[in-house]
Amino acid sequence: MASAADGAGNREGDRVVVLGRVAGAFGVAGWVKVRSYTDPPDNILKYPVWQLGRPGSWTELTLEGGRVTAKGILAKLAGIDSPEQARERTGAEVGVWRSQLPPLAPGEYYWSDLEGAEAYSPGGERLGRIDHFRNAPGGTIVVVHGEREHWIPFVKERVLEVDLDAGRVVFDWEADW
């Protein structure tokens, strides 16, 4: 097992992208229940090596097995062989290196590529910096921290422009909303 020194990762120019969270222990052999953020949820099982932990403290673990059940996604990770060890991982984030993610078509991007980008209104007023995304019952929300916090619906109608090179996203949203 290897640990990353920081949340950015230990590979030059690479970083850990969070794809889920350990939701608890399952069974007596060290399996864990996983809340997947991937679409579809079982895509998280396509990655043979996971980073487990939190930004600043990642531990690399090999995925030994995984399956989808009526109770959700289950995973068996190397070195976690008892229910006690599995319970210790409850709440840990599950990530992979950004370089492990499949390449995208031109004009597409991963949400994690937008985190840290500056958010602007159509008139050029700075809304703040994109902090993270949230899944809500009505859809995905992008959380922007600035002079005030904005929760912007992450839908095509609200995203007017994405410039990854400039680290800039323009939303159909005003600073006083």
Q: Are residues 44 and 129 in the same domain?
A: no
pLDDT at 4: 35
Residue where a domain stops, chosen among 44, 79, 100: 100
The answer to whether residue 81 is domain-embedded is yes
Does residue 68 share a domain with residue 154? no
Q: Report if residue 105 sits inside a domain.
A: no
Q: Are residues 96 and 121 in the same domain?
A: no
Neighbouring residues of 5: CB distance < 8 A, sequence distance ≥ 6: none
User: What tokens appear for 176 in the block?
Assistant: 């006083």
Low-confidence spans in the chain with pLDDT less than 70: 1-13
- Model pLDDT for residues 39-74, shown as the tens digit of each residue: 899 999 999 999 999 888 999 999 999 999 988 899
Residue labelled with tokens 């590529």? 113
pLDDT at residue 6, rounded to an integer? 38
Amino acid 108: pLDDT: 85
- Do 90 and 130 belong to one domain? no
Task: Measure the CA–CA gap between 4 and 59, rounded to whole angstroms.
Answer: 7
Whether residues 133 and 156 share a domain: the answer is: yes
Contact 133, 143 (CB under 8 A): yes
pTM over 0.85: no
Do the Cβ atoms of 66 and 74 come closer than 8 Å? yes
Q: How many structural domains are present in the chain?
A: 2
Determine, yes or no, domain membership for 176.
Answer: no
Instruction: Write down which residue in 73, 100, 127 finishes a domain.
Output: 100
Q: How many helices (H) and strands (E) does the chain have?
A: 2, 13
128 found inside a domain: yes
- pLDDT of 81: 97
**Whether 165 and 127 share a structural domain:** yes
First to last CA, the chain: 47
User: Domain holding 160: CATH number?
Assistant: 2.30.30.240
In which domain, by residue range, is 74 found?
3-100
Domain match, 8 and 94 both? yes
Q: What is the pLDDT of residue 139?
A: 86
